[in-house]
Structure 1
């Protein structure tokens, strides 16, 4: 996720930025899945994972908003 966000900061175009951010969004959602799986498999408690899961949710919202804003800029 972080590598794609970093790459998007030096994107060659708005479309390239959206592409990199979209990949980061998918990675963030995958991370959320794995965190939930840690809880369901009882490898970690919800209390142990809660803060990281909350941060992941916040990142998902930020990345999604960034994509929406850039698409609006392009007139899509």
Structure 2
């Protein structure tokens, strides 16, 4: 497993936790932030699960779930931004990190799929 995705997904999870704390304590927003907390922290959890995959197909499956969770996180971030809970600067920063993870996961999944077809 590439360390980059493990490190970046963990770092994003920490940012999501801090954002959740801010949103609930300062903005009194509980519903959308909870959804973001769930999806944003599950990305790294699925990356960790993929490390112990039982097969190449299981590895791809677990990373595909992580990709879906990262995509869902982007939705919640967009919603928080558009509804005024998240300012432009914070939104741009955390969304950039999430997009990096989306690209990394897509690349790893595609590479893994290609390698399993050539064997």
TM-score (norm 1): 0.95
- Residue of structure 2 equivalent to 1:9: 51
- Residue of structure 2 equivalent to 1:52: 94
Gaps of 5+ in 1: none
Higher RCO (CA < 8 A, seq sep 6+): 1
Runs of 4+ that moved beyond 4 A: none
- Residue of structure 2 equivalent to 1:65: 107
CA distance in 2 between partners of 1:27 and 1:16 (Å):
17
- Count of residues paired in the alignment: 76
CA distance in 1 between partners of 2:95 and 2:106 (Å):
16
Q: Counterparts in 2 of 1:28-39, with a 5 A limit? A: 28-39=70-81
Deviations 1:24-61 (A, max 9, x none): 00000000111111110011112122111000000000
- Residue of structure 2 equivalent to 1:20: 62
Gaps of 5+ in 2: 1-42
TM-score (norm 2): 0.62
Tell me the C-alpha RMSD between the 2 structures. Answer: 1.0
CA distance in 2 between partners of 1:3 and 1:32 (Å):
17
